[in-house]
Amino acid sequence: MVQPRHGRPAAGHGHLDGLAVNAHTAYDLQERQKLLGMWLGLLGICFFAVTLPMTRLATGTSAAPQLSPWFVTFARAVIAAALSVVFLLATRSRWPTAAERGPLLLATLGNALGFPILLGWALRHVPSGHAAVFTALLPLATAALAAWVLHQRARWGFWACAVLGAVLVLVFSLWRAQQHGGGFGLEWADALLIGAVLSAAVGYVFGAKVTPTLGAERVICWVCILALPVSLPGALLTWPQQSVVPMSWVGLAYVGVFSMWAGFFAWYRGLAWGGTLRVSQLQLLQPFVSMLAAVPLLGEPLEFSTIVFALAVVATVLVGKRLAQ
């Protein structure tokens, strides 16, 4: 190799060293972004998990009702829509295209209307820990719907786990009804919980369908705004006529700001930065965070049987996700 005069290193060496430093810096930034994505995903899951006890706090129970589940559904969407308008104006976001409006409308029906109203009515009649077992099926329900809508193929083992998880939830519901003197049968609120899970899955899948073109944060903003023609008059018509405890309003504020809006910001950004496959596994923690949050917020006992069934359902979800890859 020809050495340069005056003992200076060859120009090629300096260029290669610079490339190596830049590559190392880029790798470090990428790893930091992945780590931040995991933390944002965990933050989003915590926001979503506390939705169950906060919704029960807002609606009360059948014995001591507070805010109407209808009002909670409409009002939380109005709160999130107000925040969405500010965000879209501040970021000068574009309007959705004609191709994006259909999936956005279905996401609105699932996430802004269907899920909260079904969950709100169910939580008047069952503890949030009971509902948490059903929400453990959400990752599988979402994946199953994605396979149909987005034409993503899955192995037979995935579908076997999906069926097993559904059977476990069914057995839990039947057993719990017998333990509480209702006979060996399903509680009617369980049908509402299943509907809530399916509604959320519809919202997630059709929201994900337009995320690549519209952007993660803007998807949830437009979902909330598209719900306004229903949510705003609905909130006014169902406005509570009787006084409720102050904590019910706290529960409503939480589900409007965090469950319906900020949680999706953290969650979608976490998926983008940390990787969907890695960050989505954090969903497995959601039922347990819900159960733990219900203890101080609602004073609900943490039953051993509920934990066992939740662990079993989460196990089927974890195995199913791995078999689907």
Q: What is the pLDDT of residue 115?
A: 94
* Amino acid in the structure at residue 70: W
CA distance 30 to 26: 6
Domain spans of the chain? 39-324
Check whether 28 has a pLDDT greater than 80: no
Q: What is the pLDDT of residue 61?
A: 87
Q: What is the pLDDT of residue 165?
A: 78
Mean pLDDT of 247-276: 88
Is the Cβ–Cβ distance between 316 and 165 less than 8 Å? yes
CA distance 224 to 242: 27
Mean pLDDT of 218-236: 95
Contacting residues for 137 by C-beta, under 8 A, at least 6 apart: 165, 166, 169, 197, 313, 317
* Amino acid in the structure at residue 304: F
CA distance 85 to 254: 18
Average model confidence (pLDDT) across the chain: 83
Check whether 252 has a pLDDT greater than 90: yes
Which of 35-39, 118-122, 165-169, 311-315 is predicted most confidently?
A: 118-122
Is the Cβ–Cβ distance between 205 and 145 less than 8 Å? yes
pLDDT tens, position by position, 183-211:
445 678 889 999 999 999 898 888 888 88
Residues in a beta bridge with 60:
65
Check whether 256 has a pLDDT greater than 90: yes
pLDDT tens, position by position, 60-82:
988 889 999 999 999 999 999 99
pLDDT tens, position by position, 144-167:
787 778 776 667 787 787 778 778
Mean pLDDT of 116-120: 93
Residue 110 is encoded by which pair of tokens?
């699932």
**The model's pTM:** 0.78
**Residue that wins the pLDDT comparison between 90 and 147:** 90
DSSP designation for 190: H
Q: What is the pLDDT of residue 7?
A: 52
How many angstroms separate the Cα of 311 from the Cα of each of 123, 267, 274, 287, 316? 21, 23, 25, 9, 9
Residue 56 phi/psi, 5° resolution?
Answer: -65, -35
Q: What is the pLDDT of residue 16?
A: 57
**Residue that wins the pLDDT comparison between 203 and 321:** 203
CA distance 97 to 173: 43
- Residue 17: pLDDT band (50, 70, 90) is low
CA distance 317 to 313: 6
